[in-house]
Amino acid sequence: MSVESIDPFGLPLTMNHWLMKSELDVYPYSQLVADGWTHWDGVRNYQARNMMRDAMKVGDLVLFYHSNTKPPHVAGVARVTREGYGDFTSWDASSKYFDEKSTADNPRWFMVDIEPVCELTMVPLQDMKDNPNLEGMPLLQRGQRLSVQPVTEEQFAEVLRMAGVDAADL
């Protein structure tokens, strides 16, 4: 989930890896590529919010997962380009994500910005379940529904390996 590395100035950096779910027919990876970047609005779950607000950092890498499709699968890699900030759809009365308790001054909900890094050959959910190297990955836990999840660096690299990509080449 978190690996220490050293930046060119000798300071310790923390690099995190994540998985974000998107329904294929709502916002596919190809749309992220077409848009160039997007804000990840509409998350209304406190655990997911806390990760976006507190833990996701610029440069963090994200597995982009397509849910509600057959088969469900990881479709690409994205990168965080802006850290947690108030989700403006939460104080937009015309938005379906409107929450009267959230304001620009005191947001209840947060989002991050992401950009595409590389599309992957589809990595199906079942293949990940069948891979013993991914044991313990949150996505594979029974009943796990969080739309934003942490992933260890090892799990991240393994999923890329399954798609024929070396994480070190990103």
Partner DNA sequence: GCCAACGTTGGC
Interface residues with DNA (CB under 7 A) are: 21, 23, 45-47, 67-72, 125-126, 129, 141-147
Q: How far is the CB of 20 from DNA (least distance, A)?
A: 10
User: Which residue, 5 or 45, is less far from DNA as judged by CB?
Assistant: 45
Structure tokens that stand for 84 in this block:
């947690």
User: Which residue, 44 or 82, is less far from DNA as judged by CB?
Assistant: 44
- Distance between terminal CA atoms of the chain? 17
Q: Where are the beta strands (DSSP E) in 9-160?
A: 12-23, 38-39, 61-67, 73-86, 110-124, 148-151
Residue entry with tokens 């997007």: 38
User: Which residue, 30 or 144, is less far from DNA as judged by CB?
Assistant: 144
Strand 12-23 with 61-67, pairing: parallel
Q: How far is the CB of 129 from DNA (least distance, A)?
A: 7
Q: Where are the beta strands (DSSP E) in 1-106?
A: 2-6, 12-23, 38-39, 61-67, 73-86
Q: How far is the CB of 25 from DNA (least distance, A)?
A: 12
Q: Do 47 and 149 meet the contact criterion of CB atoms below 8 Å apart?
A: no
Q: How far is the CB of 133 from DNA (least distance, A)?
A: 18
User: Which residue, 15 or 44, is less far from DNA as judged by CB?
Assistant: 44
User: Which residue, 72 or 76, is less far from DNA as judged by CB?
Assistant: 72
